[in-house]
Structure 1
Amino acid sequence: MTDTSSSVGYHDPSNTPPLGQAIPLGLQHVLAMFASNVTPSIIVAGAAGLAFGGPEQVYLIQMAMLFAGIATLFQTVGFGPVGARLPIMQGTSFAFVGVLAGVAATQGLGVALTACIIAGVIHFLLGSVIDKLRWLFPPLVTGLVILAIGLYLIPVAIKYAAGGAAKFQMEAESFGSLMHWTVALSVVIVALALKFFTKGTLSNAAILVGLIVGYIVAYLSGMVSFGAVSKASWFTAIKPLPYGFEFSLGAVIAVTLVSIVSAIETVGDTSATTKAGAGREATDEEITGATYADGLGTAVAGVFGGLPNTSFSQNVGIVGMTGIMSRHVVTIGALVLILCGLVPKIGAIIASMPLPVLGGGVIVMFGMVAAAGLNVLSEINMNRRNMVIIAVALAAGLGLNLVPTAVQYLPGVVKTLATSAVAPTALVAIVLNLVLPEEI
């Protein structure tokens, strides 16, 4: 898409381009975030031991699409104090994958989703005090947390690309085969080629197109089965609390800590949206409303089996590129996602994607998460103090996650937090940032 802001002047979020222009713009927002939106659900489902391509995994993928759309409507349409009334696209957050995958693997999806509901409510309540908490999360802390998330997830990407994630899959003879890596690398090569050698919609949807190409390569290699697709219905009803309501204090604390970081990220995305699309700073009401919508979207999604939602930064880039600030354009994208979420066959097609195809996509995605963290850290002064904070926080967060038996005698709640990668990284970074003196 080219910059059309000079011809239509839609710097006001409440203005709407002509329908012939608004629909393609809305679809562009969906294409830019679609792959990133469904991937966390696939990974957490795998960690929970759900059959790859099975009906339970299909359902989680459906909920990812459905509640990304609903949460986006909370932002763009809003009600009462909820919603920024800005073109902010919501989607399933990668930030929670590490914590939720660990909880789902050890305590089950019921505990993980219950933690999402409670954390979402707490996230919602943060809307009234978010401006007072921002000082706890300077770029040093938020950059470290984002970097830790990316580094934690990269091994998952490699395992998927090689053909498996579970222990028995990695022991199979086919794990790491040339065929698996051919499929995975086809996704990486196509995604990178489109991202850097094309413009507009193709560039924004580079990972999605790469996944489609990888899917075709996998199909031609005999790796795709459409059995689940043929069995899936066209429409289905959503189910409240599909895995029950199981409370775990450790899981709630871990997910809530990530929610706080996610809230700060949403503040940044809200400010970036108004700056890119309207050339102004976000108002207090917009930031508060965006946080309310973020938390409410997460809580409601958790009730029906969806993972936490957050604002998607790549869609902020689309606003800046097109110059179209209309929230109604993003509303069209939200309605497309809701339609996809209500059609199980779409979820089944996504779930039929072989692991190496997904692995190729997430190698790029997770690497970009880590790179985003480095980008945030580039804003700080790399003096001795800050380098020590980075070193100790990463060592604590990633080290305990890689060697969980090092804290095997800790109480259950504390152990869950200590081995979650994100929580210890954030906690150590916050504490050291508060107690270590600034260097002159």
Structure 2
Amino acid sequence: MSQSHEKGLLYGLDARIGPVPAFFAALQHVLASVVGIITPPLIIGSLLGLQAYIPYLISMSLLVSGLGTFIQARRFAGIGAGMICLQGTSFAFLGVILSGGLMVKARGGSPEEIMAMLFGCNMVAAFIPILLSRCVKQLRKVLTPVVTGTVITLIGISLIKVSITDWAGGHNAQDFGAPGNLALGALTLLVIVALNRSRNRWARLVAVVVGITVGCIAAALTGHLQLKPAVETAWLVMPSFFKFGFNFDWTLFVPIALVSVIAVIEAVGDLTANCMLSQQPIVGPQFQQRLEGGIMADGISCMLAAIFSAFPNTTFAQNNGVIQMTGVASRYVGMVLGLMLALLGIFPAIGSLLQQIPPPVLGGATIVMFGSVVAAGIRVMTQTPLGRREMLIVAISFGIGLGVEAVPDVLKQFPVLITNLFGHAVTTGGILAILLNIILPTEQGTLPLAEGETVKEQ
């Protein structure tokens, strides 16, 4: 194995990596993200009555995630961040897409008409991150380390909630919180931690894979894993351009467009954390180029998703935790990861097997990864000293953002659009952090710079 000269990393960003370690490193990213990629199409398909098309929607979600991830890692003609930035189906769009789909359904629209409208609006909205990628320099004046660090931390905290839910047995599990579920998650976590702290780099490289494997074996022995026969579907699924047609409605488009702007804010936070974990600069022209390319690739991924009948993509934060755990930041792993996800989409039988990993095992495996996202956010946030002004921004953003997510009924008197947009900690907290950063005057004697540094007034 080639040595990385970067402290704390087995393989640096541009380090060449052999096919076997690249496969295992990429597999851990797949295991950390595959459920998150396929869950939105499952929810949307079930609630909008699209059951007949759910297998196709899942396949296309995996395919587009693979294509987008490859573009991010490969970085061609300034498109892509040139890092392991896994693209996955965004949960942020879930509420507005469901609202739009139900609106079309209430008009008497067929499943095909619902999807034609949704994918048409998503296609137009994909131009928003592409356009905003050309304004990164201006965005950086607003998205200071305090703002981006707050967003990253809120993303991590929101993910931890998902991880703990899985650890306890998963949503609507009859044995939710049972000691057996908690023990399975704990066993998986202990194996991952033990291997991660080993001095053997192979042990660290395969820690998540081995941890999940041990967890699955224990689940099978205790009756928590019962393999279900694969759903009858084609072994090979080929994508089609605008399979359900193309339609557009301004009423549906506006909320989707607003969420697209919010998704860019999240992407900036995720890309900043990725740069830091990959030991790349988080200030200066190189960082700005990575942000421009990463946000542009986000838009391209959303465009591909609309073309191939998948829902909007975004950069997944949980995979930053995998980089932290494995010490592998090589972008060549990102290319392998993209190819693996694309193959899972084309050959759905493989993906259906991964879907059967017990939730407690996944919860135990992801809890430390999502915790790493929180830690990364705190590190970004504290790049510069936190004065009274910065502490106030963080306090209000965290307090209201997490409060709204903990007590969602606080917004129940507002229109559905408001509830969908601001019912999540990342959205509410992120927007508050931006507004407060603009409104609150800086402390006397300092002037904030675009990169978050400060200089004394002359």
In structure 2, relative to structure 1, the CA distance for the partners of 1:406 and 1:236 (3 Å cut) is same
In structure 2, relative to structure 1, the CA distance for the partners of 1:350 and 1:106 (3 Å cut) is farther
Q: Kindly report the root-mean-square deviation, in angstroms, between the aligned alpha carbons of the 2 structures.
A: 3.9
| Residue matched to 1:282 | 286
| Residue matched to 1:89 | 84
Asked if the contact 2:123/2:306 (under 8 Å) is kept, the reply is yes
The answer to whether 1:409 aligns with 2:405 is no
Distance 2:400 2:121 in 1: 24
| Residue matched to 1:69 | 66
1:3 Cα deviation after fit: 0.3
The share of aligned pairs that are identical, in percent, is: 27
| Residue matched to 1:399 | 403
In structure 2, relative to structure 1, the CA distance for the partners of 1:221 and 1:122 (3 Å cut) is same
Distance 2:321 2:382 in 1: 19
1:316 Cα deviation after fit: 6.6
In structure 2, relative to structure 1, the CA distance for the partners of 1:352 and 1:108 (3 Å cut) is farther
Deviations 1:73-115 (A, max 9, x none): 323555555345x4x2331359x43x34555676669698777
Q: Give the secondary-structure state (helix, strand or coil) at the position aligned to 1:229.
A: coil
In structure 2, relative to structure 1, the CA distance for the partners of 1:328 and 1:210 (3 Å cut) is closer
Q: Out of 10, 32, 36, which is 2:32 matched to? A: 36
Distance 1:195 1:336 in 2: 24
1:260 Cα deviation after fit: 3.0
Q: Give the secondary-structure state (helix, strand or coil) at the position aligned to 2:86.
A: strand
The answer to whether 1:296 aligns with 2:297 is no
1:259 Cα deviation after fit: 2.1
Matched to 2:23, the amino acid is: L
Asked if the contact 2:167/2:359 (under 8 Å) is kept, the reply is yes
Distance 1:267 1:101 in 2: 24
Q: Give the secondary-structure state (helix, strand or coil) at the position aligned to 2:315.
A: strand
Distance 1:157 1:319 in 2: 19
Per the normalisation by structure 1, the TM-score is: 0.78
1:403 Cα deviation after fit: 1.9
Matched to 1:181, the amino acid is: L
| Residue matched to 2:169 | 163
* Unaligned segments of structure 1, at least 5 residues: none
Distance 1:127 1:2 in 2: 34
Q: Give the secondary-structure state (helix, strand or coil) at the position aligned to 2:126.
A: helix
Distance 1:35 1:115 in 2: 31
Deviations 1:169-193 (A, max 9, x none): 3xx3x22112211222222111222
1:347 Cα deviation after fit: 0.7
Distance 1:263 1:124 in 2: 13
Matched to 1:356, the amino acid is: P
Deviations 1:109-161 (A, max 9, x none): 96987776555331122222222211111111111112112222323322222
Per the normalisation by structure 2, the TM-score is: 0.75
Deviations 1:7-62 (A, max 9, x none): xxx9996xx96xxx6423532541342223313225435655859xx997765664
1:4 Cα deviation after fit: 6.1
Distance 2:339 2:221 in 1: 33
Asked if the contact 2:219/2:358 (under 8 Å) is kept, the reply is yes
Matched to 1:371, the amino acid is: A
| Matched length | 415
Asked if the contact 2:128/2:260 (under 8 Å) is kept, the reply is no
1:362 Cα deviation after fit: 2.9
Distance 2:370 2:55 in 1: 22
Asked if the contact 2:136/2:288 (under 8 Å) is kept, the reply is no
Asked if the contact 1:48/1:101 (under 8 Å) is kept, the reply is yes
The answer to whether 1:124 aligns with 2:136 is no
1:398 Cα deviation after fit: 1.6
In structure 2, relative to structure 1, the CA distance for the partners of 1:153 and 1:122 (3 Å cut) is same
| Residue matched to 1:23 | 19
Distance 1:259 1:234 in 2: 36
Asked if the contact 1:273/1:319 (under 8 Å) is kept, the reply is no
1:331 Cα deviation after fit: 3.4
| Equivalent runs, 1:16-415 vs 2, <5 Å | 22-44=18-40, 48=44, 50=46, 62-77=59-74, 80-83=77-80, 86=82, 88-92=83-87, 96-97=90-91, 99-103=92-96, 117-166=123-172, 169=173, 172=174, 174-229=175-230, 231-238=232-239, 247=252, 249-263=254-268, 265-266=270-271, 269=274, 275=280, 282=286, 287-303=291-307, 304-305=309-310, 307-310=312-315, 313=320, 330-415=334-419
Bigger fraction of residues in helix: 1
Asked if the contact 1:70/1:297 (under 8 Å) is kept, the reply is yes
| Residue matched to 2:430 | 426
* Unaligned segments of structure 2, at least 5 residues: 103-114, 445-458
Distance 2:228 2:140 in 1: 49
Distance 1:320 1:163 in 2: 29
Distance 2:165 2:277 in 1: 34
1:228 Cα deviation after fit: 3.7
Matched to 1:149, the amino acid is: I
Matched to 1:3, the amino acid is: Q
In structure 2, relative to structure 1, the CA distance for the partners of 1:162 and 1:346 (3 Å cut) is same
In structure 2, relative to structure 1, the CA distance for the partners of 1:32 and 1:185 (3 Å cut) is same
Asked if the contact 1:120/1:259 (under 8 Å) is kept, the reply is no
Q: Give the secondary-structure state (helix, strand or coil) at the position aligned to 1:387.
A: helix
1:242 Cα deviation after fit: 7.7
